[in-house]
Chains A and B, each alone.
Chain A
Amino acid sequence: MAVDVLVATCLGYVVLMFIVAFAADRAALRGRVKWLDHPAVYTLSLSVYCSAWTFFGAVGYATRSGLEFATIYLGPTVVFAGAWWGLRRLVRVARMHHVTSVADLISARFGKSNPLAALITLIAVTAATPYIALQLQSVSLSFRAFTQEADPVAQGGTALWVAAGLALFTILFGTRNLAADERHHGVVTAIALEAVVKLIAFLALGVFVVWGLADGPTDVVGRIAKATAEDPALVQGWLLKPDRWTALIVVSGIAVITLPRMFQVMVVEAADAERLRMAGWAFPTYLFAMSLFVLPIAVVGRELLPAGSNPDLFVLSLPLSQGQNMLALLVFLGGFSAATSMVVMSAIALATMISNHWLVPLWLWLRRRPDGDDAEDLGRFVLNARRLAILAVVGGGWVYHQASGGSAALAAMGLVAFTGMAQVFPAMLGGLLWRGATRIGAYAGVGTGLVLWMVLIFLPSVGIGATPGFPQGVDPLAGSIVLSLGANTLAFLTLSLVSFPDPVERLQGLSFVLAVEPEGPDRAGGDTARSAESLLAMSRRIWGADPALRFFQAEAVAQGKSGFLPDLTPRFLTRLERRLAGSVGTATAHAMIGRVGGGTGLSVADLMEVAGEASRAKEEARRLETARAELARTARQLREANEKLTELSVQKDSFLGQVSHELRTPMTSIRAFSELLKLPDLPEADRTRFAGIIHDEAGRLTRLLDDLLDLSVLESGGVRLNVAVANLHDLVDRAVNAASATGTGRNFVIHRDLPTEHVAVITDTDRLLQVLINIISNARKYCDAPRPELWVHVRRRPDRSTEIDIIDNGSGIDPDRQALIFEKFARLNDPMRAGGAGLGLAICREIMTALGGDITYLPGQGGAAFRVSLPHRPPLKPSASADAPNACGGGGDWNE
């Protein structure tokens, strides 16, 4: 094929890419981002993972090592299977902090430390430069495959032209402006298109090989079997080594997250975390499709092409050897797409890192001014720094390509870059999951990993030093990976455990691990130097006048203010810092905000204040919850109390009538019979009878008044207890006897468990007796069973209190009256049947309260059942001043 056709096609393709990127950028500028933000575009842009190393190298890799080539795609498949809870979290946290690169993420997590970011940038640049050189080489090699030109100068020329074109493209579309979020719609759209070209080219070649050259899948399987059966050396190479298999899957799974270009497209360019739902299966599908035909192409190429052919170029030489020039051209474009998309994305990601973590901090340090108000256009400087960094990255790749010259040295560079960036992973994962991870630990881990990676993998790969000798049976690459990552993780964990994080670090750790957005403490108090105006001036220098004004106005509106100058609340300062971080990196943004404000740092006291505010809010919520429950409880109690009050009031009314009646009946008869006694001619017998009646009625009055007095003394708490030790058995005996003496004479069966009754009680025995008699005589009075029976159970509780249950077999007390029986004047049933005035149980309750115990009604016992609870010893009462001697021995119904 003529070179000019090839060049023309190439140029046409490049122009198409420029147009697509330009159109996408314009569409984004006009706000038409709907289709640009589609998850499919996002998924396709992820395919920047498949660089020229994949496109050309996979077949070569498969020719040499068989299925091992698939490890590079299986690792990401596993990682994306967990996209929904793993990657989504990463994307969410990174977007929350407006992270611009993997170095920025780790620096932000570990206290906004720029030196740490600079160190990671160093690893990224070191690992990526040979990798970029590999892409340039693949383009020039594929060019040569077409032109059959062996002139190294022409080769270098191709690489130079490609490098220059890519640098131009990247500068044009990667550094158009310094947005608050680092998204490049043009570049991403162009790369998504390139992903489609890559896939179509590779699939077309695969279909051609399987159904054109071979005779369908069965034939291909047969050919693979035949090739391995014929060639023992091939089998030896293809035999999977478990340690390599595992190490490579792990490293590629890590690399798909940590490689600068992957982090750029997956995290930085993501509009939100939701698109991972599609990418989670679609990206592995892409990788699967890219891998499916690798083995067939390798085997068929090995069969059909001459023995000395470079297996890394099978994808091109196979269609060319079959005269399929158009297919070869398509494959060439696919390889070209793979190489260019990788270089462009890597250049953008690395340039962001270099400018944010190397150049801008250096510039700020060199230009430090005491007043902190430099007139330079910082935004322009940042953009220029990026352009410079892009030139340096792409140029560095080209220089490396020219210097190394050979193809063999570059072929391994893909894995070298993977293992290099993998050293960042322990600190990243630890930082996201573990609040105990510290900056010192991160330094130690990344530093150890960097040194070991340099010594064991990187330097040997560029021909300096030798691959270290591992014991027989251990694969050197797998051993190096395990050793470097293991030592890295160990150093990270150990130093994290022994070191102590500073306040900023702890705040950031909280934010990253819990995926929350804590605001900084209130640092603005009385700080006139840091006016909103100087912050606005600073933001203007980075974003340009209009975006800065828009951001400040929006913030002011959010605060309920008009104009462009919001109050310097912690919330506003935190948001401003995060937005600035999206442009210049977290560490720099932090430093700049601090600088404008006179360098106020976060102290432990501030941190405690933030923690205090958070816990105060938490406490407040908890308190409200408790208060609500309390309120509901109180309402319930009030309702109950109200019902009781209503009932009591009704009862009191009826009682007033009743007590008047009680008082009036004896009074009436006393008066009537006194009148009669006045009669002169009264027979002696009548006189004695009338006097007896008067005496009885007066006795009734006295009893009623005694009860009332007793109750009032008990209620006023003025009772004096006469504490003694007694056997409860004797007390119950006496109570039963006394109650039967005053009883109605009905035949009552009393069941007692005598052994259990022999319990020593320390109490006022007279008072307790009064209670027992009252209950038993009540039972005698009110039990309505035809054969009344009474049970007395005595029980000693573990806390040495005593319970006496007295239960009869009557109909008991209606549930709606149970609450009232202990109230004063609550006579149950028919008043005419009772001898007392309804004060007995009220007195009992007062007595038991005085004795430190309680008397309760037990519902559901098959009759009226009362439980008398007696503490081990009565409470010590300090009062006893208001003693009423008259009432002390005064009794209830039993005391005559």
Chain B
Amino acid sequence: MARHQPLFLERSSYRRRRLSDVARILPVLALVLILLPVWWVPAVVSLTGGALWLFGLWAGLIALTAGLFAAMGTADPSAQSAGQDGGADGDDPGEGAGAGRGRSESAGR
């Protein structure tokens, strides 16, 4: 929808965007880490060693998620403001677009 998006963000907002990027990557990473060893070396990860691998990985994943969500909580003081970012999540303010906008602005003067 026609919402005005700032092209560059202040430091805290920038950090929040990057954290939400991490939140997107995390499940994919988790899935890859859980699936790949079983496809590659099922015999190695099926028994005792596998149990240690799996529960270690699992605990690490939970810690990572908890850390991430906590960081997002502190980086996101007004949780409600993020409530309307559905469409905007996709279009990150890229550097190129910003430079282009800057040029056109100065040209207008």
Contact = CB atoms under 8 A, between A and B. Distances in A.
Interface of A: 66-67, 70, 74, 77-86, 89, 92, 221, 224-225, 228, 235, 238-242, 245-246, 249, 273-274, 277-278, 280-281, 284-285, 288, 291-292, 295, 514-516, 614, 617-618, 621-622, 625, 629, 633, 636
Interface of B: 1-2, 4, 20, 23-24, 26-27, 30-31, 34-35, 38-39, 42-43, 45-48, 50-52, 54-55, 58-59, 61-62, 64-66, 68-69, 72-73, 79, 83-84, 86-87, 89, 108-109
A66 B46 contact: yes
A629 B105 CA distance: 10
Given A285-B62, A292-B55, A239 B46 contact: yes
Given A78-B31, A82-B26, A224-B51, A514 B86 contact: yes
A246 B42 CA distance: 12
A70 B54 contact: yes
A782 to B, nearest CB: 32
Given A77-B58, A77-B62, A291-B55, 10 more contacts: A78-B30, A85-B20, A92-B83, A221-B48, A239-B43, A245-B42, A284-B61, A288-B58, A514-B87, A614-B1
Contacts of A67: 45-46, 50-51, 54
A622 B38 CA distance: 54
Contacts of A274: 79
A723 to B, nearest CB: 35
B40 to A, nearest CB: 9
A81 B48 contact: no
Given A224-B47, A288-B62, A85 B30 contact: no
A53 to B, nearest CB: 20
Contacts of A277: 69, 72-73, 79
Nearest to B76: A277
Contacts of B108: 629, 633
Nearest to B109: A636
B34 A225 contact: no
A238 B26 CA distance: 29
Given A82-B24, A89-B86, A240-B50, A618 B2 contact: yes
Given A77-B58, A77-B61, A84-B20, A238 B2 contact: no
A221 B43 CA distance: 17
A66 B64 CA distance: 26
28 contacts: A70-B58, A81-B27, A82-B23, A84-B20, A84-B23, A84-B69, A89-B86, A221-B52, A239-B43, A240-B45, A240-B46, A273-B83, A277-B69, A281-B66, A284-B58, A284-B62, A288-B55, A295-B51, A514-B1, A514-B86, A514-B87, A515-B84, A515-B86, A515-B87, A516-B87, A621-B2, A621-B4, A636-B109
A617 B31 contact: no
A85 B61 contact: no
Given A67-B50, A67-B54, A629-B108, A280 B24 contact: no
B9 to A, nearest CB: 18
B46 A238 contact: yes
A78 B35 CA distance: 11
Contact of B48 (A79, A228, A246, A280): A228
Given A77-B62, A280-B65, A284-B61, A235 B47 contact: yes
A81 B26 contact: yes
A59 B95 CA distance: 54
A78 B24 CA distance: 11
Contacts of B86: 89, 92, 514-516
Contacts of B42: 239-242, 245
Contacts of A82: 23-24, 26-27
A719 to B, nearest CB: 35
Contacts of B84: 515
A240 B38 contact: yes
Closest 7 A/B residue pairs (Cβ): A515-B86, A82-B27, A281-B66, A618-B2, A281-B65, A242-B39, A84-B23
B11 to A, nearest CB: 21
A442 B43 CA distance: 40
B67 to A, nearest CB: 8
A93 to B, nearest CB: 8
A239 B41 CA distance: 10
Given A82-B26, A221-B52, A285-B62, A622 B2 contact: yes
A516 B1 CA distance: 9
A827 to B, nearest CB: 32
A238 B47 contact: yes
A617 B108 CA distance: 25
A242 B66 CA distance: 29
